[in-house]
Amino acid sequence: MQSVLSILKAIENGNITPKAAVAQSLDAIAAKDAAVGAFVALPDREATLAAADRATGPLAGIAVGVKDIIDTHDLPTGMGSPIYAGNRPPADAALVAMLRDRGATVAGKTVATEFAFLRPAATLNPRDPAHTPGGSSSGSAAGVAAGMVPVAIGTQTGGSVIRPAAYCGVAGYKPSFRLVPMVGVKTFSWSLDTAGFFAASAADVAAFVTRLTGRPLDVEPVDPSTLRIGLYRTSVWDQADGDARAALSLAAEGAASAGASILEIDEPEILAAAREAHSTIQNFEAGIALGFEYAHHRDRMSEILRTTLEQGRAIAPEAYDAARSVARRARHETGELFQHVDLILTPAVTGAAPHGLSSTGSPVFNKLWTLTGNPCVNVPGAANKAGMPVGIQLVARFGRDRLALSAASWLESLLVAGTAPER
Amino acid sequence: MQSVLSILKAIENGNITPKAAVAQSLDAIAAKDAAVGAFVALPDREATLAAADRATGPLAGIAVGVKDIIDTHDLPTGMGSPIYAGNRPPADAALVAMLRDRGATVAGKTVATEFAFLRPAATLNPRDPAHTPGGSSSGSAAGVAAGMVPVAIGTQTGGSVIRPAAYCGVAGYKPSFRLVPMVGVKTFSWSLDTAGFFAASAADVAAFVTRLTGRPLDVEPVDPSTLRIGLYRTSVWDQADGDARAALSLAAEGAASAGASILEIDEPEILAAAREAHSTIQNFEAGIALGFEYAHHRDRMSEILRTTLEQGRAIAPEAYDAARSVARRARHETGELFQHVDLILTPAVTGAAPHGLSSTGSPVFNKLWTLTGNPCVNVPGAANKAGMPVGIQLVARFGRDRLALSAASWLESLLVAGTAPER
C-alpha cells in the first residue's frame, strides 16, 4: 500500500517531488483499477500533474480518492445513482476545498453505493476479488487497499467507513461527530452522516488528518501500563462469527500481554436501545433528505432504498423524537463508560468480508458509535485462516480522537508484528 | 397581509379554490413587487397555476416565498452573490420538497443578502421604503409584510429571521435547532444556520408549520395566570434604544395586566460569553463552508464577507473548540433558566428598522438564541411614534415550540388590541 508518512518523508528529504508522488498514484490507478473498480471518475492526467507541480502546503504530493457523494466542481458527482449521472456541482465540498487548500490532489472519485446506502456497487475487494469490499465507501477502502492512493475519504451513516476498512485490511477513522465539515456531502441522515478517512495504517491516517485540519492528531506513543481498555462484546455478540471473535480476543490478549488493563463491559440497556433508535433516526431523516428524489425519481431507485424511504416517511415525528431522546441518553451513558475506561475495544465487523457482491455486509457493530458520535478506528492487522482481513474497532471518548488513533497505531503494531498470541 | 388561516378556511368552506388562492398571491406579487423588490426569481405563471390546480395536501392553496439560498430544481438559486448567478440546483432542498409534498406552491425566490451574511440587498421595507427590511431574509419578511404571500421561508445564523420580522411587523418563527431540515440550504455555519418562517401572525405561522411538519404546533389558548415570564433585558441592554425598551415594557406590562407572573432575569455570565462565542463559531465555520468560493471567487465577494472569512480562517481549532465548549455550557444554563420560567421575553431588535439601506441592522439580541437553539418568535404589534414596527421576542425551552407560538399569539393579541398600557 502507499503510505502517507513515507510519501511525506520522501518529499521532505528531497527524494521525490510532489508531482512525482502524485504521478505514482495516478500510475497505480491506471495499472490496477481495471481489476478492482474503485474509481468512477478520474481527472485529466496532465492537468492534474501540472496542478500538483504548483501545489504548496502540508499535503502537497498526497493523492486522495474522494467518495462520489462528495461534491467536486471539476469532476462529476454521481452519488452512486443514475439520477445523478453526469451531475456537476457548482462548488467543491468543504472537505475537498480544505484538501486542495493544503496542497493535496484529488486523484479521482471513488465508487459509492447508491446515496451511500445498502445497494452493493461493483467494486471488488483487492484482498480477494471474490469478496465484497464492504460499503458504502466501497471504492475508497478498495483504492487504498489496492495501493492506488495513500488516502481516501468516505462517509459513515451506519458503518460505511469502519466496515469497508475492516474488510479490506486498512486503517479506517471515523472522527468525532462534526470534527470535519459535511458541507457539500450528499445527506442521507444529518444526525448521523460523518466523513471519515482510509489509509494504510493508523499513523498514516493520523498524519493526513493532522495536516488537513490543523489539529494535533498525529499518533504519539502510548504507555500500555496506563491504558484501561473496555472489552465490549455488545448485546449482539451472537452476530459475531468465529473470525470476528478470534480477532477481538487476539487484540485483547495482545493488549493485556503488553501491560494494558482489560475490563469486561456488559452493554448498558440504553446503548442496546440506541442501536435500534439508529434505524428510526436514519430512516426518518433519509425520507426527508431524499424527498426530492423520492418525489421525482423513485422509479430509478433500488428496491431497498425506496422501501427504506417509505418506511422513513411513515415514521411519526413523535417516534423520531423518542429515538432522538434515546440517542441523547446513550451519549450521556457513553460518557459515563469513559469514566472507567480510556478506550473501548469492540468488533468492527461480524467477520471477514462476505463472499460475492450481493451484500456489503452488516453495520451492526458500527451504527451505535455513529449515533453516539464517538471517534472510532478500524485497526488492521488480524486475518482469518484464508488470509482475509478481520478488523477490530477502538472507540474513544468524544473529542479524544488523538488517543483513539494513537492506541490504534499501538494495537496495530502488536497485530502486525504477530506479538499477540496465536489463535 | 395575506393570512394562512384565512386562506385555509376559505378553501375548506369552498369559498375559493387552491388555484384561485395561489393566483391571488401571484397577482399581488405582480402588482406590488416592483415597489418592494422582495423577489429575485418567479416561476412561470400558467405552469404554476396548473400545478396548484392539481395540488393536494394540507397546504394546497398556500403560496410560499423561498429565500434564495435554498435550492429549487426549477428556479435559479443565486445565493445573493454574483458567483451563483443563474445557478440551477439538481434537486429541491428538503424543505422545498416537503412544501410541495404537502401541496404548497413555491411563489418565487426571495431576496437574500450575499450568502445570508451582512451585505445589504436592495429590498425595501414595505412599512416605509426609506428603511431597510432587515436581513438576511430580506425578501421573505418584506414579501409577507407587503401582502404578496401568506408565508415565506428564511434562515437565521445570527438574527436573520427574527430581525427582519421585527422590522417589517410580521410574525417570525425560528424553530428549535434542527426541527426542520437544512439539506439543500447553502451553509454559512452548520452549528447555527436555522430555517425559519414568516407569516402575518403567530397563529398563521403555527398553522403553516403544523401542516408542513405533521407536528402539533397550532396555537392553543394560554392561561396567563399560569405563565411565568422571565423579563430578560440582557447584558447588552445599552444597545436597545427607546423604541425597543418601550416595546418590551409594553409587552411585559400587558402580560402582567393579563395575569402573567413577570420575573426579572439578570443575564448569567455564561450566556453573555456565549454571545461572543457565537462570532467565533460562525466565522470559523464560514471560513470552511465557503472555502471553495474563497479559493476561486473571492474577487466577487463583498469586503465585509471576504474579511469575515479571512478572520474565520485565522481562528485556531483550539479557539473554536473553546467557543463550542462555551456554547454547550450556555445551552445547559439556558435549560436551568427554564426551570424557573416558562418563557423568556427579550428584545427582538435594538429598535425600529434603521433608515436607509446601508445596514440590515444589528442581530445582537438574536444571536445568543441561535447559538442555544431555543425556539424564538418575533411578536408583532408594537410600533414607534412614526408607526414603524418594533418587535419583541419570546423564547421557550428547547423543543417547546408550541408554547412559544401559543404565547406569542396571546401576546400579539394584547399588543394589537391595544389592551396593553399606553406608553
Q: How large is the ipTM?
A: 0.97
- A315 grid coordinates: 415514521
Considering B25, B136, B138, B406, which one is annotated as catalytic?
A: B136
Give which of A191, A260, A178 is closest to A226, Cα–Cα.
Answer: A260
- Catalytic residue list contains A67: yes
Task: Give per-residue pLDDT as tens, B162-172.
Answer: 999 999 999 99
Mean pLDDT of chain B: 97
Burial B142-160 (b: 16+ CB within 10 A, else e): bbbbbbbbbbbbbbbbbbb
Give which of B172, B148, B144 is closest to B160, Cα–Cα.
Answer: B172
Every domain of chain B and the residues it spans: 4-213
Q: Is the pLDDT of residue B420 over 80?
A: no
Q: Would you call B225 helix, strand, or coil by DSSP?
A: helix
Task: Give per-residue pLDDT as tens, B176-230.
Answer: 999 999 999 999 999 999 999 999 999 999 999 999 999 999 999 999 999 999 9
Q: What is the 3-state secondary structure (H, E, C) of chain A?
A: CCCHHHHHHHHHCCCCCHHHHHHHHHHHHHHHHHHHCCEEECCCHHHHHHHHHHCCCCCCCCEEEEECCECCCCCCCCCCCHHHCCCCCCCCCHHHHHHHHCCCEEEEEECCCHHHCCCCCCCCCCCCCCECCCCCCHHHHHHHHCCCCCEEEEEECCCCCHHHHHHHCCEEEECCCCCCCCCCECCCCCCCCEEEEEECCHHHHHHHHHHHHCCCCCCCCCCHHHCEEEEECCCCHHHCCHHHHHHHHHHHHHHHHCCCEEEEECCCHHHHHHHHHHHHHHHHHHHHHCHHHHHHHHHHCCHHHHHHHHHHHHCCHHHHHHHHHHHHHHHHHHHHHCCCCCEEEEECCCCCCCEECCCCCCCCCCHHHHHHCCCEEEECCCECCCCCECCEEEEECCCCHHHHHHHHHHHHHHHHHCCCCCC
pLDDT band at B422, cuts 50/70/90?
very low
* Alpha carbon of B265: minimum distance to chain A alpha carbons (Å): 29
- A335 grid coordinates: 460518557
Whether residue A289 lies within 8 A of chain B, CB to CB, comes out as: yes
Q: Residue B40 is which amino acid?
A: V
* Alpha carbon of A100: minimum distance to chain B alpha carbons (Å): 9
**pLDDT, position B417:** 78
Give the β-pairing of A151-156 and A171-174.
Answer: unpaired
- Catalytic residue list contains B160: yes
* Alpha carbon of B248: minimum distance to chain A alpha carbons (Å): 34
**pLDDT, position B202:** 98
Residue A291 to residues A135, A288, B62, B91, B286, Cα–Cα distance (Å): 23, 5, 19, 9, 27
Give the A:B interface size as CB pairs under 8 Å. 84
Give the fold, CATH level 3, of A1-423.
Answer: Amidase signature (AS) enzymes (3.90.1300)
Conformational region of residue B37, where left means phi above 0, alpha means psi within -120 to 50, and beta covers everything else = left
Burial A260-276 (b: 16+ CB within 10 A, else e): bebeebebbebbebbbe
**pLDDT, position A141:** 98
**pLDDT, position A38:** 98
Q: Say which of B94, B187, B317 has its CB closest to residue A183.
A: B187
Q: Is the pLDDT of residue B245 over 60?
A: yes
Please report residues of A whose CB lies closer than 8 A to that of B84.
90
CATH 3.90.1300.10 is the classification of domain B4-213:
yes
Q: Say which of B87, B182, B190 has its CB closest to residue A181.
A: B190
* Helix or strand holding residue B376 (H, E): strand B376-379
CB A377 within 8 A of CB A305: no
CA A207/CA A203 separation, integer angstroms: 6
Q: Say which of A87, A191, A215 has its CB closest to residue B317.
A: A215
Q: For chain A, list residues with pLDDT below 50.
A: 419-423
Q: Would you call B358 helix, strand, or coil by DSSP?
A: coil
Q: Is the pLDDT of residue B423 over 70?
A: no
Give which of A138, A157, A134, A159 is closest to A366, Cα–Cα.
Answer: A159
- Cβ-proximal residues to B274 (8 Å cutoff; 6+ apart), any chain: B326, B327, B329, B330, B368, B371, B372
**In chain B, % of residues over pLDDT 70:** 99
pTM listed for this prediction: 0.97
Contact A190/B181, CB-based, under 8 Å?
yes
Q: Residue B13 is which amino acid?
A: N
- A227 grid coordinates: 491504558
**pLDDT, position A333:** 98
